[in-house]
Amino acid sequence: MLEEKVQVRTSARDGRGLFATERIAADTLVMEAPLLLIPGEQRAALQATLVDDYVYEWDEHGTAALVLGVSSMCNHDDDPNAFLWLVPDGLVAQLFALRDIDEGEEITVSYRAEEGSEDAPLWFEVRDGG
């Protein structure tokens, strides 16, 4: 089972994070999680909650996607070791290793979803996990 390769632990970055419990090779599918879609007309109610920090923009109609499962515990890094891909046809999120991830290493993703958006502002202060 893929989920056995990861565990939620306390992170030096902020709060909790997702960590590898064994070495994960580059290009490995680390896990797959279902998505819950929140219609655009309900988004304003969601924005008043902590949950809004965990959703991804889904479409041009304001729909948000909430990734269910522990992959939502991945913290941001400007040089991430993993990529979370939202699969439109499957309504799932797939977490892939971008490079080898060592046992005990925190699994991180970039919250700047679009390529070329490396300088896009984030809604929080980035902390180094070192």
What is the share, in percent, of the chain residues with pLDDT greater than 70? 84
* Of residues 104, 96, 56, the one with CA closest to residue 80: 96
pLDDT at 10 > cutoff 80: yes
Is the entire prediction scored with pTM above 0.85? no
pLDDT at 107 > cutoff 90: yes
- In the predicted model, what is the mean pLDDT of residues 65-85? 92
**For 2-109, which CATH superfamily applies?**
SET domain (2.170.270.10)
Residue 34 backbone phi and psi in degrees, to 5: -70, 155
pLDDT at 121 > cutoff 70: no
pLDDT at 33 > cutoff 90: yes
Say which residues have a Cβ less than 8 Å from residue 81's Cβ, sequence separation at least 6.
97, 98, 99, 101, 105, 107, 108
Q: What is the pLDDT of residue 54?
A: 85
